[in-house]
Structure formats: structure tokens, C-alpha cells
A and B are shown apart, each in its own frame.
Chain A
């Protein structure tokens, strides 16, 4: 039985412009110790998927309309009471946020914030918690941790703060770590370090990891399996090999092509034509084909395209866009 199984997760936001279907029937699973990469453009619903699982969607305007998220096959995260959820958050599932500059409370010392999960979830005394917090900081590569733990967040650099966040998330040895674009706000030079660190700590604690990113390059080396999201739906999912070696959905192909490479100089970087669709209007058919000049066929004009199983591990969504279409509109 998978450790975490999400089924048909649907999250809507009620805004002035209508109902935004941010996440629309997303299903995936995760085994213990496994790493899943969720990839997609901004607004594709990858973050909302994660926020929904932890009950972090602000309601109103957000609302989880349907679906289930079974942890260990028993607890449904979407239906758990506040109290149950509080016991799971920070203890069994922890999260690392995108921007380390704003995800630490500027008015509290790092020590105060680091020991909080231990005090809440394990009833540690302050002294004991502090001791563990110092070693947690050392584990994420912060030198002189015993001294620096009492500093304020603004006394750390961005990379250092993200290390603190990682230490904070992992301090209770959670079974699942959700990293929501953990490197987006960081310098390129620091990104690799942070990813290495997440991978290393994850391996050391044997936690499962959901890595949310818009950068396929990031997930390539880290993930066992990958789910590609577009307009609130998963369009392709499979092992890292499936998705990288034999991508089938044109969106996956396009994403791959948008990775900057060190290969040829002077060649303009590929960009996917058009813009993502407005999710506040219902999309009856294939959402990707709505992008400017991409539609190539009319099979999924009015009915939503289903996921088709390609191999034991590989699923891809049917689509009205054919691969050559991506080439043709390149110069538009």
C-alpha cells in the first residue's frame, strides 16, 4: 500500500472573476522514502496541490471540492479534523517554502522557531529541544550553530535561511517532506547546494519527498517519479526515465526544450508559444491545445481528454497537439 495516495483532488478558488479551478482531479501516490517531482508552469496548480494536502488553503476563497488524500491508507488528510491535522503537520509531514526570506518570522530568534516543533510534537523541554536544534543546524551545514542559533533571521543570508527552514522541517524526522520550489528564490550558486542538502537529509532520514518546481532540470537528478501538471491536471506521469527518455505529452517535450543548456551558444532559448489558459473559465476540452496556434486536431474539443496508460509506470493524457506543432509555431 502506498504511503500517501491522492485521489481526484479538486481545489477551487471563488474569486470575483468566477471560480478558479486551480487543481482539477489530480491523483498520484507516493511510497515511503520515494521522491516525486511535480513540474509545471506558474499557475498550473502544483503548489495548490501541496497546500491542499496540508490544509493550508485559505478558506474562503479556497475550497477543496472533492478528492481524498490517504496517509498510510487510514487517515484522510482532506477530512481530518483540525486537531488531527495539527498533529500530522510538522510531525509526519513537513513543508519547505519557496521564499526563505519571508518564511521565517523576523521578530523571533531562529532558536525560538526551531524548537517549536519539538516542544509541540514531542513535549521536549526547552533545554533538550535547544540541544537537538543545534545539532539539526549542524546537520544542514551551519557552522558555529551553538552561537548562531540565537541570531535573528535577518542575520542570515538567503541560502542560510533555507538551510534553517530545512532543519526546521526535518527536526521531527517527518515521513514526508514537501518542498515547494525550495530553490526558486535563491542564487543559482546556492541552488545546487540546497538541493544536495535536501537529498542528503532525505536519504539520512528515509523520508519521502515531494519536490515542486517549474524547473525540469532540478527534478532530473533527484526524483524517482515525475508528474507534469498543466492547468490543474496531471498531463504525464511516470518514472524519471519514462518522462525524460520517452516523453509523450507535447507539453512535457516543450518543457524539456525550455531548459537552458550549455550546448550551443547564441541560439535563442525555446519558449512555449501562447500563455496558460484562464482557469476561472471552464475548459471543456484539452487545455494545452488552447495555447495560440497549437491545436492540431479536434478530438478533445468538448470532452476532457483522459489519461492513457502507456506502460506499467507511465501514463499520459490524450491531447489535441501533435509534436510537430510545437516546431511550426516556434517563430511566431
Chain B
């Protein structure tokens, strides 16, 4: 007698079956699938929750804090961590925790908004240029080259002097620079894709150029785009701190992670916690974003294994 083969629950599952019945009727979106796959990548999931935590910490935290980021207490400057001030106080006696949260708000805000702006402009610009090709492509990419050639710092100083200095302008300026690289990356990807047979098949089915670009080509470049976007967020945060350092970024009482780290590095001998704490939050966020991007790339590829 041949003994019956024991099949464990996980082995007996066919790849196609592990969608729940509701999805079978409707078919789920790319993002729902991606989330489904992301959940299986522990590191990426942890990173995801760290990013979520940072978001909540920075955007909700300040409302719960008894201090405001501008409240000075000159009697208690440069204090070590205590129950009243968990991360101590800075050189003007302001609560470091509150400033850390507000600073994160600025840094993450610049990072995410500028990245999203650069993403949207860059993806659409690059995809259109590559898909249309020929002279249009040439003209569009030469425009990018010209912008690339502009010295960034001068560009920022120029804009900052012409217009009122504001955080909004900071977002715009950084976004306006970051999309160039994105456009180049996407263009390269799309150039390879547009000659693929499935694009021809889509044309032969009577799809419009717009629909082919948006529904067939862009999903194919999302993996690369997401990875690049998660690398852009830290780059933008660094850029912001560089601008703040030059006095071109956020205005003085408003902190950002960059300016907090700057303050910490000035006092590294006597008060190392002023450097360590913001650096830790900053690095943790960057790590989490990188791992999340990596996980997202895998999750967005339907070919990556489902288990």
C-alpha cells in the first residue's frame, strides 16, 4: 500500500487561490496586491510601521506636548534628559522632544511633498518623452539637460530673493530640481518598454496613447520609480538641512532635523544627547525608507513569489 501523501495546509495552497473570494469577483488593484505581498516581507513591513510611527510622532506629537517649539526657558538651557524634558533642552531652554517632533514635521514634509511633486512631473515627463520619441523626445530631454546644468544653489538663492521666503517655495524649489533625475530614469525604462510586444498588442486593440501610457507602461516602471522615490526622500531631507545650514531653508525658530543635528554637532563634547537623538531619528527614518522602497519594488512585481 502506498501511504497517502500528507499535504500541509500551506503546501496545498495553489498560488492563485490565496486571494480571498471577494477579490475573485472584483479583481484587486495593483496596490491591493502589492500590500498583500508586502505583508509577507517582515523587514519591509517593520519599515512601513516605522515610517507610519514617524509620521504620527511628528504630525500629531506636537499637539500632545505641553511645550511649544518656541517656548524659551532661559533658566534651564542645555539640560540633560529628565522627566519634564525627556530629550533635554537646547541652548535656549526649549524642549528638545517638541522641537524634534516639529523638526520632523518640516523634514518629512519637505521630503515627502517634494518627492511626490518630482515623482509626478518626472514620471509623466519621462514617459511621454520616451513614448513619443523622435524630435519631441529630443526637445524634451534637452530641456531637462539645460535645467540640469543650472547651478542649484544659485537657482535657490535667486528664487528665494525674488520671492518671499516660505516653506512652500522650498518644496517647489526642491521638487523642481529632483524631477530631472526621475524623468531621465523613467525615460530610459519606457524606451525599453515601448518596443515590447504587449505595447503593440495594446495598440492593435485600439487603445489610445494616453491609456497605453497610464495603464500599461507606467505600472511597469513603478518598481523602479518607487525605489528611486524612497532614495529621493532622504536626499531631499539632506538637501533641506543643507539649505537650512546656509540660511536658505526654514526660518530660525522653526526647527528641522538638519538644523537640530547642526546644533547637536556644535555641542557634541558636553551634550552628546543633542546630537545622538535627532541623528538616531533621522537615520532610522532613512533606513526604514530604504528598506520599505526595496520591499515595495518586490511587492509591485507580480512575478515575485507570493509566499
Contacts and interface: CB of A to CB of B under 8 A. Distances in A.
Interface of A: 54, 56, 58, 60, 86-91, 94-95, 97-99, 102-109, 111-112, 116-117, 120-121, 130, 146-152, 154-155, 165, 168-169
A217 B240 CA distance: 68
A56 B203 contact: yes
Contacts of A89: 203-206
B contacts with A: majority SS: helix
A236 B198 CA distance: 33
B86 interface: no
Nearest to A93: B204
Contacts, number: 98
Most buried by B among A54, A60, A94, A105: A105
A151 B27 CA distance: 9
Contacts of A98: 197
A86 B206 contact: yes
B198 A104 contact: yes
A148 B16 contact: yes
A133 to B, nearest CB: 10
Contact of B216 (A108, A111, A151): A108
Contacts of A130: 27
A111 B196 CA distance: 20
A107 B204 contact: no
Contacts of B12: none
Interface of B: 15-17, 19, 23-24, 27-28, 30, 134, 195-198, 200-208, 211, 215-216, 219-220, 222, 300-303
Contact of A106 (B195, B200, B206, B303): B303
Contacts of A151: 16
A90 B204 contact: yes
A22 B198 CA distance: 23
Nearest to A151: B16
Nearest to A171: B205
15 contacts: A56-B200, A86-B206, A86-B207, A88-B206, A95-B204, A102-B197, A105-B198, A105-B202, A105-B220, A107-B222, A107-B302, A120-B206, A120-B211, A147-B24, A150-B28
Contact of B205 (A117, A146, A148, A149): A117
B65 to A, nearest CB: 44
Complex A-B, nearest 9 residue pairs according to Cβ-Cβ distance, in ascending order = A90-B206, A90-B205, A89-B206, A103-B197, A152-B302, A95-B204, A107-B219, A102-B197, A105-B198
Given A104-B198, A109-B27, A168 B205 contact: yes
A149 to B, nearest CB: 8
Most buried by B among A104, A146, A152: A152
Contact of B303 (A58, A146, A152): A152
Contacts of B204: 54, 56, 89-90, 94-95, 97
A288 to B, nearest CB: 30
B201 A91 contact: no
A117 B206 contact: yes
Contacts of B24: 146-147, 150
A102 B208 contact: no
A116 B208 CA distance: 11
Nearest to A100: B197
Contacts of B197: 97-99, 102-103
B278 to A, nearest CB: 40
Contacts of A102: 196-198
